[in-house]
Chain A
Amino acid sequence: MKLVISNGRVIDPSQDIDAVMDVIVTDGVITALGTDPNSGDAPDETIDASGMVVTPGLIDMHTHLREPGFEYKETIQSGSAAAVAGGFTSIACMANTDPVNDTRSVTEFIVQKARAAGKAHVYPVAAVSRGLEGVVLAEFGDLKEAGAVAFSDDGNPVIDSGLMRRAVEYAASLNTCVISHCEDRGLSAGGLMNESLVSTRLGITGIPSIAEDIMVARDIALAEYTGAPIHIAHVSTAGAVALIDAAKSRGVNVTAETAPHYFTLSDIAVEHFSTNTKMYPPLRSSGDVKAVKEGLKTGVIDAIASDHAPHSSIEKDLEFEYAAYGIIGLETSLALSLALVTDGILSMKQLVSLMSTNPARILKIPKGTLATGADADITIIDAAASWTIDPADFKSKSRNCPFTGLTVTGKAVMTIVDGRTVFRAF
C-alpha cells in the first residue's frame, strides 16, 4: 500500500524542513520525502496537497477523555474522534477518571479502548499518587509497562513537596517525567476566577496569579535540586513564564505548556458570568495573556496543549459558582493557535514545534517527525480556510466551549494515522 501526498508545503522542525515536496508513505511508514526512490511502483493513492501545509501529526499532550467513569461527558471513542477532527494524531489523557488511572488495569483499559476506536494514538498519563490523594505514590514502573508515558495528578496539585520529590526522581529513573498542575491551595481556596479588577467588580472570589507562580517556583527548585525533569501544565501567568525562563537559562530540566484559551481570552470574558469561561487555571489578565504569547514566541513555553475538559450541561448550565471548571479544546486548538501565526507572533515552523515536535520530545514518544522510517502520522492543514466555531458540529460529546460564533482561520483537512486516513474534512 503506497500513498503519496504531493506538492504540499512540508514543515517538519525535527528535520528543519520547510519546503514544497512530496511525502511518500508505504505500508504505514514514511519511506521518502521529496523524490520517490521507487517511482516505478505506481501509488495506490495520491493526495493532492497543493496549497496545503503538511506536518508531522499534531500531538495534544493534555486532554481529559472522561472514560472510565464519566462516559456521558466523553468517551475514548468520541474524544479520539474529536482529536483527529482537530488534526491530532496523538493525544495524552489525564488520570482523573473514575476509577483513577493509578493502576495497570485502568491504563490497559484505556490503551485497549483507544486501539478499538482506531482513531488517534492515545497515551495515558497515570496518576502520581493513588486516588490522586497526594499521599502514596502510584506504581510508576508497572504503569509505565502498561503504557503510561508520564505521571500527573492533574486537577489536583501535589501539595506535599516530599511526595513530589520522590515522584520526580522515580519518574526520571524510568525515563519519564511528572506533569505538574501548579496551584497553591491556600491561596486559591474558594476562588472561581482570576483575582483582578474584574473579580472585584463581579464579587467573585479570586484566584491570585501567585497561587500558580509559587508552585511553579517550588517545582523548579525540585527539578534543579534533583536534576529530574518536570513539565509544567497549563501555564497562565506572566510570573510563571518569567520563572520558567530564568530556570531554563540556568539549565534546569523544566518544560512547559499552555492552552489556547490562555493566549486568546482574558478575564474580561468572565464579565457576563458565562460558565464556559470558568476553568482552572482561570483566564488571566491581559498582561498575562501578553506574557504567555511572548513565552511561546521565545520558546520558554515548549508546547500548546488544549486541556480538553468535557463537561455536560448538567455541570455547566448552572450558576457560575456551582459550575464545573474546564472547557473542550481538541477541535478549536489548531485554529486558535494558527491565529498566532497570522498575527506574526509565531512562524509556521514554531507552531509545528509547539504542537508536534516538542510534545513528542517531552513525552519521549516516537512521534512528531516525518523522518524516513517513522510511523506515517501526518496532518494536512488548510491554513487559509475560514470557518465559524459551532460546537454542535463537534465530534466531542460535550459543548462547553467559550468560542461559539467566533470566526477563525485554518483547519485540519486530513488526518492520517499509521498511513490510514482517519479524518477528512471534505
Chain B
Amino acid sequence: MKLGHKDLLGLEHVSREEISLILDTAESFKEISTRRIKKVPTLRGKTVINLFVEPSTRTRTSFEIAGKRLSADVINFTTSASSFVKGETLRDTAQTLQSMAPDIIVIRHSAAGAPHILARLLQASIINAGDGAHEHPTQALLDMLSIREKKGRLEGLKVAIVGDISHSRVARSNIFGMTTMGMSVAIGGPPMMIPRDLEKLGVTVHYRLADAIQDADVVMMLRIQFERQASSLFPSIREYARFYSLTRDTIGLAKDDVIIMHPGPINRGVEIAPDIADGPSSIILDQVTNGVAVRMALLYLLGGGTE
C-alpha cells in the first residue's frame, strides 16, 4: 500500500488507513536507529531539500537525520521570511529549487498555506514541516505514534491538549489526526487562546485546566510563546502559570496511568512544572525519538524508496 497523495500538507484530509500505514511504517523503521550502523540504502540517489523559511533547529535536525539514515542526499536551505518579503518570492525560490530536480521538499514557513503553493507549482513531493498556525502533520504523527506505543491503541483514548490553540499548528494537526483515529479530544485554555467554532471540529472545549484533564489518558501541554503573541492576549506569564500550569496537584485529576506530552521546547515553570516534565509519566523524549522514525516513514512512503 502507498499513500494516496503526492504531498503531505496536513492531516485534515488524511484517512484513518493512511495514518495507520504511516505509523506502522514508522514503527518498522525505529529499529534502524538502534543499530550500530544507523543507515540503510533505501533512498540512495534521492534528493531531499529542507527549505526552512522560519527558524527551527529541532524539526530540521529530525528531518535531516531521517533522510540521512535512509541514505538520501539531504540539503538544508535556510532563509528568513523577512528576506523573502523583500527579495525573492517563494514562487521564485520554488522554481529555482525545482530546476535542481529534488525528489522531496520539506518546508517550514511562518505563513499558513505556503506548502500548498509549492505543491501546486512543483513536481517534487512536498512535506509540510509547519506552516504558520495551520498544520504540523509530522509532529501530530509522532505524537500519535508515541501514544500508540505506550497505550497499545489510539481509539477510545481521551487526550487533553492545553495551551494557545489559536496559534498552534501542533494542536490543529493533532485535532484532525486524533479525531480521525477515534480518540476523544478535550481542549483546555483561556478563551482568548481558543479559536472560534473549535468545537465544530469534534472536540470539547474547557476554560478550566481541571475540566480538560479530568480522566485523561494523555495530557499534551503546548508551549506558550509569551515573547511573541500571547503578551497581548493574556494578562501575564504569572497569571497563566497560576491557572494553566500542569503541576503535581492538577495531574491527579487525570487517569493514574496518564502520559504527559509536550512538542517542545518546554518552558519549565510556565505550562509545565519541572518535576512533571522530568517525571515518570513524561514521554517528552520518546516523542523526539519517534520524530525521526515518523519522518523516515514519510520520506520513504512519498519518496518511492525500495526496501
Contacts and interface: CB of A to CB of B under 8 A. Distances in A.
A201 B196 contact: no
A195 B116 CA distance: 21
A273 B134 CA distance: 11
A196 B112 contact: no
Interface in A312-355: 317-322
Contact of A320 (B85, B89, B113, B195): B113
Interface residues of A, number: 20
B85 A322 contact: yes
A273 B196 contact: no
Contacts of A273: 112-113, 116-117
A197 B200 contact: yes
Nearest to A314: B89
A321 B117 CA distance: 12
Contacts of B12: 201
A272 B112 CA distance: 11
A139 B208 CA distance: 55
Given A273-B116, A273-B117, A317-B91, A203 B201 contact: no
A300 B131 CA distance: 41
Interface residues of B, number: 26
A213 to B, nearest CB: 15
A321 B135 contact: no
A320 B196 contact: no
A200 B196 CA distance: 6
B111 A199 contact: no
A206 B198 CA distance: 13
Interface in B174-206: 195-198, 200-201
B132 A200 contact: no
A266 B116 CA distance: 21
B196 A319 contact: no
Contacts of A318: 89-91
Contacts of B90: 318-319
Interface string A217-257: 00000000000000000000000000000000000000000
Nearest to B194: A200
A202 interface: yes
A203 B89 contact: no
B108 interface: no
Interface string B110-152: 1111101100000000000001111100000000000000000
A200 B112 contact: no
B172 interface: yes
Given A201-B12, A203-B134, A317-B91, A322 B195 contact: no
B196 A197 contact: yes
A197 B132 contact: no
B158 interface: no
B295 interface: no
Contacts of B109: 319
A208 B196 CA distance: 9
Contacts of B113: 202, 204, 273, 319-321
A204 B197 contact: no
B54 to A, nearest CB: 12
A195 B200 CA distance: 14
Contact of A201 (B111, B114, B172): B172
Nearest to A322: B85
Interface string A180-204: 0000000000000001110111111
Contacts of A208: 196
A195 B196 contact: yes
A392 B114 CA distance: 26
B129 to A, nearest CB: 15
B196 A203 contact: no
Interface centre among A195, A196, A201, A205 (most CB of B within 10 A): A201
A317 B89 contact: yes
B267 to A, nearest CB: 21
A199 B196 CA distance: 8
B116 A200 contact: no
Interface centre among A203, A204, A208, A317 (most CB of B within 10 A): A203
Contact of B201 (A201, A206, A321): A201
Interface centre among A202, A204, A205, A206 (most CB of B within 10 A): A202
**Leading 6 A-B pairs by shortest Cβ distance:** A273-B113, A203-B133, A203-B134, A319-B111, A197-B197, A200-B195
Interface of A: 195-197, 199-206, 208, 272-273, 317-322
Interface of B: 12, 85, 89-91, 109-114, 116-117, 131-135, 169, 172, 195-198, 200-201
